[in-house]
A and B are shown apart, each in its own frame.
Chain A
Amino acid sequence: MMAGFLGLVRRELLLAFRQGSALTLTLAFFVIAVTLFPLGVGPELNILQRIGPGVLWVGALLSCLLTLDRMFQADFEDGSLDLLMIGRVPVELVVLAKVVSHWLTSILPLILITPLLAVSLNMPFDGIVAMEFALLLGSPALSLIGSVGAGLTVGLRRGGVLLSLMVLPLYIPVLIFGVAAVEAAIAVLPMASHLSLLAAMSLGALVVCPVAAAAALRLAVD
């Protein structure tokens, strides 16, 4: 079962790297979206420092949404989803493999480039460290919650728009505590409680979301 899971993750990663474009496109979207803010609100450094954490988090949420609707869609269209569903690997693990590869291909690059963007938004060093920790702990919840939305909208015609309407409200708690952690760090306040809550949300989502997404997929293929 574990071998099947790892095999699935490897397949997804291979597909992502060979197609290539999706990876760089998400990254480019994130960078451009964040760059728009200094142009929009003006280049005053203290304003940028004030809005930096929020801009980076919102940028990450939106970039994550971009690739979410493809999570199961391609496999649904070419029929391999049906094969995965009747295979030996439980559907919940199939979902988890998809989530892991979505996180690795769509979110990890964002986390890696965040320090660079944070510097450009005049974020102090403590804030950057907190931002990285908050993203690492909180972003798995984004992929996990997203998998439920992706599962529910697979095979629908207007799936993408609907997906954002369903998923973004559920992202709000992650956004609130993610930003709160960074702001606490910038103000030299303890941020452990915010980080714990982010980790709790990711762990909670790890329990609930694969089951819900698997139920949604069973519904989509029958």
Chain B
Amino acid sequence: MAIDFHKYANPTRFLRLASAVFPWVTGAAVLLLVTGLYMGLFVAPEDYQQGETVRIMFVHVPAAWMGMSVYTMMAVSAAAGLIWKHPVADLSAKAAAPIGACFTLLALVTGALWGQPMWGTYWVWDARLTSMLILLFLYLGYMALWGSFDDHSKAARAAAILVLVGAINIPVIKFSVDWWNTLHQPASVATLDGPKIHGSILTPLLVMGAAYMMLFLSVFIIRVKAEIMDRRLQIMKISQLQE
């Protein structure tokens, strides 16, 4: 089943699809967030070593997943925008950037709050923490670069080049815990031998992951819609001035 995504280069078509999907996505986000938080905060057992602080993981881990996935998605969008001059792809990369930056910041902050009782320090300069920090800077640089162009299409292409160069950081973050001996624990969910976590913890974690994904989609649709409206508003203003 191939989706002809060039069809959605037309903003009106995209808007129609987005508006149809939006209520479902938002509903799913609310439902999953409530279930996931309830399971994570009340049902899941405490860890025998970490005690109650293990519950920070249910907020922290999916945020880190999203921080990386959103950047990957931006890189794919940017490539599509550069190669096929797909206007909605450009907008989607722009719309996703602040959301991804928020997820990355959330992962860093919750990680620091967890690190204080567990590692005895808010911050260590190990590979994963540092590369997540670089990711945050990449998001900020992307947004700053986009903001400093007057011409939208130029901004889109320049920002796309920057995203693609920065995408090299994503595999570095993913594998940093395997390549270097770090304080951060190695991958324990998506490993070749299957998850290494007990189901009582894994289920709420995955529910929260799905909730974050839906939340992202919901906010993303709002932002892309706003971008398209903004663009139309500008065109209308210009044509009004010309009359």
Does residue B11 face the partner (Cβ distance < 8 Å to A)? Answer: no
Whether A173 and B158, one on each chain, are in contact in the complex, defined by CB atoms closer than 8 angstroms, is no
Total residue contacts A-B, CB cutoff 8 A: 55
B82 CB contacts on chain A under 8 angstroms: 215
Contact of A219 among B137, B138, B154 (CB under 8 A): B154
Count A interface residues, CB 8 Å.
23
Known A176-B130, A216-B158, A219-B154; judge A166-B141 contact (CB<8 A).
Answer: yes
The bracket for how many chain B residues form the interface is 20 to 34
Closest to A167 in B: B141
B144 CB contacts on chain A under 8 angstroms: 162, 165-166
Q: Which of A168-215 contact B (CB under 8 A)?
A: 168-170, 172-173, 176, 204, 208-209, 212, 215
**Assembled-state Cα–Cα distance A215/B168 (Å):** 18
Closest to A219 in B: B157
B138 CB contacts on chain A under 8 angstroms: 169
Does residue A112 face the partner (Cβ distance < 8 Å to B)? Answer: no
Q: Which of B69-90 contact A (CB under 8 A)?
A: 82
Q: Which of B140-189 contact A (CB under 8 A)?
A: 140-141, 144-145, 148-149, 154, 157-158, 161-162, 164-166, 168, 172
Q: How far is the CB of A190 from chain B (nearest CB, A)?
A: 16
Closest to B125 in A: A176
Beyond A169-B138, A208-B165, 10 extra complex contacts between A and B, CB < 8 Å: A145-B165, A152-B161, A166-B145, A170-B165, A170-B166, A209-B165, A215-B161, A216-B161, A219-B154, A219-B158
Chain A residues near B (Cβ < 8 Å):
145, 148, 152-153, 156-158, 162, 165-166, 168-170, 172-173, 176, 204, 208-209, 212, 215-216, 219
Q: List 21 A-B contacts (CB under 8 A).
A: A145-B165, A148-B162, A153-B145, A153-B148, A157-B148, A162-B141, A162-B145, A166-B144, A166-B145, A169-B134, A169-B138, A169-B166, A170-B134, A170-B166, A208-B165, A208-B168, A212-B165, A215-B157, A215-B161, A216-B161, A219-B158
